[in-house]
Structure 1
């Protein structure tokens, strides 16, 4: 594991953008699975400036790794809708470079990525409960590939999804789809980033504690090429271990 600790959120976001750019500039097809949410907002601001109008970056192909099947105004589910607002539309990424995972094709996701040459990098956040992608405690197991997960698989999941769909319980689906732990571990490289003191405890538990399904992200410590990028607040509880 490689740890990178930056002073604050902005500098951490700049480094995250730089790492993705390093992959993008390879002289071949590059496959990236990227995350939505709040942590990457600043990173995408940097990336939009870095990649917009750069025709030589059409070799980069993008994949989402989970999806909540509630179609928004832009025709995407929740995850892809957020990625479109944060990055794809502002950066003018062409449709040919975007490979959507949804409730209709999730059973083909792993084979499709394999046929495309595999993921060069997957960009992950981490929840305070140790989840990543849609792999929450009590939902998927380490051996699972891309799968459908019931919203009732774990307590509190329905409330989380209601929040994701704007607080309207009537829009909450009965399931979501996600790349499972085994799918994520097939990526050639993993970049996980976290910001803020509220993530400090889980960073220590996930990367310096036992590997257990109770903390889904603990599996990631076994990946041969993982970088954990943190600001100082998120790294507060591991300084004595580095």
Structure 2
């Protein structure tokens, strides 16, 4: 496990973008699973500049690792909509290089990635409860591959799903799909990044505490090629 601590959010985001760009510069197909959410916003600003109109990155293929479908709306769900707005669309990534996970193909996700050569890198965030991807406490176990998680998996799951669709009850689904812990651990490299004091406690607990399903991200301690990128606030309980 390698930990990189940068001065602030902007520098942390730049370092994370650099790691991804470094991975892209290979004379072979490169498969990346990337995260949406608020933490990567600045990183994607850098990545758009770094990749847009660069034909030599046509070897890079992108995967989302979870998806929350809208109940009525057609097309992309929450995750892919965010990734499209943050990165794919502004960077003009061709559709042929984007491989969405959704409620229709989740059962074949692991086999599909295996047939594509496996994930070279998966970029993760971490929730204050220790979740990554859609692996919230009480939803999946360490041995699970890509999974279908129902709204009754936890007491507050309905509220979580409602929040994810912007509070629109008409669009709240009764499930989501996610790559499970076993799926994530099969990636050749994992990069996890976090910002702010609100993430400091869980960073310390997840990566320097016991490995337990109650803190899903604690499993990542055991990955042979894990890099954690933090700003000083997120790292403040490591000192």
TM superposition score category, shorter chain reference: over 0.9
Q: How far did residue 73 of structure 1 move? A: 7.1
* Residue pair 2:142, 2:180 contacting (<8 A) in 1 also: yes
1:21-170 counterparts in 2 under 5 A?
A: 21-70=21-70, 75-170=75-170
How many pairs align? Answer: 239
The match for 1:226 is: 226
1:180-203 CA deviation, whole Å, 9 max, x = no partner? 000000000000000000000000
- In the superposition, the TM-score normalised over structure 2's length comes to 0.98
Question: Alpha-carbon deviations, 1:50-104, whole Å to 9, x = none?
Answer: 0000000010000000000117978211100000000000000000000010000
Following the alignment from structure 2 to structure 1, what is the Cα–Cα distance between the partners of residues 199 and 155? Answer: 21
- Per the TM alignment, residue 170 of structure 1 is displaced from its structure 2 partner at its CA by 2.5
Aligned 8 A contact 1:71 1:77 in 2:
no
Conservation of the 8 A alpha-carbon contact between 1:74 and 1:81: no
Q: Distance in 2 between matches of 1:102 and 1:176?
A: 9
Q: Distance in 1 between matches of 2:18 and 2:72?
A: 31
Aligned partners of 1:166, 1:72: CA distance in 2, in Å? Answer: 14
CA root-mean-square deviation: 1.1
Find the aligned partners of 1:151 and 1:55 in 2 and give their Cα distance.
42
Q: Which moved more, 1:11-20 or 1:148-157?
A: 148-157
TM-score (norm 1): 0.97
User: Measured at CA, do residues 145 and 119 of structure 1 come closer, stay the same or move farther in structure 2, by a change above 3 Å?
Assistant: same
| Aligned mates of 1:119, 1:205 — CA distance in 2 | 27
Match of 1:210 in 2: 210
Shift of 1:163: 1.0
Q: Once structures 1 and 2 are overlaid, which stretch shifts more, 153-162 or 108-117?
A: 153-162
Query: What residue is the counterpart of 1:172 in the other structure?
Result: 172
Q: Distance in 1 between matches of 2:70 and 2:174?
A: 11
Gaps of 5+ in 2: none
* Match of residue 187 from structure 1: 187
Q: Deviations over 1:191-238 (max 9, x none)?
A: 000000000000000000000000000000000000000000000001
